[in-house]
Structure 1
């Protein structure tokens, strides 16, 4: 949203919402434990917002967003 390039993640991948939710293997177990669906539309659905918040806080991704 800032009109600047997204940060580069440790693996050399662009840090994006799509990468965090559906592609990043580093966070796969954390996503499962938080109950975040791997399909983007489902993960961002209002019914899953509490799962997303739990995941973001637990993984400390909030500091990278």
Structure 2
């Protein structure tokens, strides 16, 4: 029974870390995209790419 509790805790912890990583990574990606957009002016393709990356990270 004690082993099961450790496994459940590890899974929960892993999920929490995964969520944190996704949030941090998506924020970083958005900022990088925004910076690039400012440099290049308004480029639609870049915006679409950023959007696709964010969608991909959401799953």
| TM-score, normalised via structure 1 length | 0.27
Mark the structure with the bigger radius of gyration. Answer: 2
TM-score normalised by structure 2 residue count? 0.28
Question: Which structure has more helix as a fraction of its residues?
Answer: 2
Relative contact order higher in (CA < 8 Å, ≥ 6 apart): 2
